[in-house]
């Protein structure tokens, strides 16, 4: 099998970085050079980088009922009056990993805060970069065993202006909504695709 990556972290040279904005997220301007496939080094490249850090998402799955717990909330990044799609998105339970937290602990905490459910088993599914051309964010997806019969109502922290509605869907229904483009955010799409490939294994382990 051929080597897939040609270079390592050491093959980028940071010239300088400037903090442009420091708010809910940070925005940096970074100048760097990097090794070229043809040999030698590139000219200096300038990029703006949105620094978000890390996040955890939970594929909240009830293997007995073959159901998925998802949450609905408004997302300003999905607001575009020229589109027919709603800016209220069906998503996986998710949250940012704060200083001193682990991705696993965030997955458990957010399941309580966003959906009011307990996760009895937590299993790492995959970790991915989110839009690394201009965003620094590592997303950790976990499969979590839940009792979907206990998932209902409205949730979220008032201190964070969260207004979250819980939905329980059959695994197949959730997958069909994704196929139809009605679930169209990247984390949910990745999570539901992963579940479709692995649900039988989860049922065997968790039941």
Residues designated catalytic: 160
Q: How does DSSP assign 90-137, residue by residue?
A: EE-EEEE--TT--HHHHHHHHHHHHH----SEEEEEEEEESSTTTEEE
Written as six digits, the tokens of 2 are 């051929």
Rounded Cα distance between 110 and 114, Å, is: 6
Measuring CA to CA, how many Å separate 17 from each of 12, 29, 31, 93, 153?
A: 13, 6, 6, 33, 45
């Amino acid at each position: 099998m051929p080597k897939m990556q040609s270079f390592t972290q050491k093959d980028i040279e940071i010239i300088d970085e400037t903090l442009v904005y420091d708010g809910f997220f940070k925005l940096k301007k970074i100048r760097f050079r990097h090794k070229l496939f043809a040999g030698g080094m590139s000219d200096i490249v300038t990029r703006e980088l949105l620094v978000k850090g890390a996040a955890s998402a939970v594929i909240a799955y009830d293997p007995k009922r073959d159901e998925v717990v998802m949450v609905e909330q408004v997302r300003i990044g999905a607001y575009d009056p020229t589109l027919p799609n709603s800016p209220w998105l069906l998503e996986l339970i998710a949250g940012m990993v704060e200083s001193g937290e682990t991705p696993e602990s965030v997955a458990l905490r957010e399941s309580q805060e966003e959906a009011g459910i307990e996760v009895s088993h937590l299993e790492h599914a995959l970790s991915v970069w989110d839009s690394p051309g201009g965003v620094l964010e590592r997303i950790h997806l976990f499969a979590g065993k839940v009792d979907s019969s206990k998932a209902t109502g409205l949730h979220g922290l008032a201190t964070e202006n969260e207004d979250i509605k819980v939905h329980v869907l059959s695994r197949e229904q959730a997958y069909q909504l994704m196929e139809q483009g009605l679930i169209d955010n990247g984390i949910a799409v990745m999570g539901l695709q992963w579940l479709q490939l692995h649900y039988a294994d989860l049922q065997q382990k968790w039941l």
